[in-house]
Amino acid sequence: SQQGEEDPQALSIQEGENATMNCSYKTSINNLQWYRQNSGRGLVHLILIRSNEREKHSGRLRVTLDTSKKSSSLLITASRAADTASYFCLCGAGGTSYGKLTFGQGTILTVHP
Amino acid sequence: ETGVTQTPRHLVMGMTNKKSLKCEQHLGHNAMYWYKQSAKKPLELMFVYNFKEQTENNSVPSRFSPECPNSSHLFLHLHTLQPEDSALYLCASSQDITRIDEKLFFGSGTQLSVL
């Protein structure tokens, strides 16, 4: 199965600062997705970037993808206390990997007011 | 509200009990998933159903028994669980597992404690 590995495991910043977290993977992908999870809740889809895209924006989120390095980064600009959550990447691959969508351990982001 | 509803939100059960977790989606999706999230572990994909047919069973012990009577409902039947089965059980749905840009929609989960 495809599994991304997030880095760092934990990130602590002040409100207003930018937060950057990374995801690395090992095999080819069709897309890479980022999800957020508030404590004890389900995951929420944030953004999807396709393998032929290099950068994508959505509000305060900026995602980059470097398929040569097999890595992606998620940047949250001007962070807020409400951004405190765990963030996961998900590698979407086609072919026989359909239906085997697996997550890494995530990055725990804490934004201090 | 994601359109995926899980009940109950919390469940405490003894090792000899039988209980069921329920998931319902109102998104018109055809694929449904069970994930297990234990403390300090990655989310573990347990089962996948596509058009009511089970497509994945990731070596899950038989004390967990899934049921998908239709594309909108998914159950996880539990019996003779162990304390290490205590975890957050998450249900998700997506349009169809054969789509390339498949996005998952999650329920809020059932926090299960096995005593």
Cα B57 to Cα B76: distance, rounded to the nearest angstrom: 13
pLDDT at B20 over 60: yes
Instruction: Extract the tokens encoding B59.
Output: 């070596």
Task: Provide the pLDDT for residue B62.
Answer: 94
- Whether B65 and chain A come into contact, CB under 8 Å, resolves to no
The shortest CB-CB distance from A45 to any of B56, B103, B108 is to B103
B68 touches A at CB < 8 Å = no
pLDDT (tens digit per residue) in B70-92: 999 999 999 999 999 999 999 99
Interface test with A, best of B103, B110, B113 (most A CBs within 10 A): B103
pLDDT at B59 over 90: no
CB A34 within 8 A of CB A74: yes
Q: Is A95 left (phi over 0), alpha (psi -120 to 50) or beta?
A: left
In the block, tokens 């009990």 appear at: B17
Q: How far apart are CA B51 and CA B30, in angstroms?
A: 5
* pLDDT tens digits, A10-55: 999 999 999 999 999 988 888 999 999 998 899 999 999 999 999 9
Structure tokens at B29: 């999706």
pLDDT of residue B29: 95
Nearest 5°: CA angle at B16, between B10 and B22? 35
Q: Is the pLDDT of residue B4 over 90?
A: yes
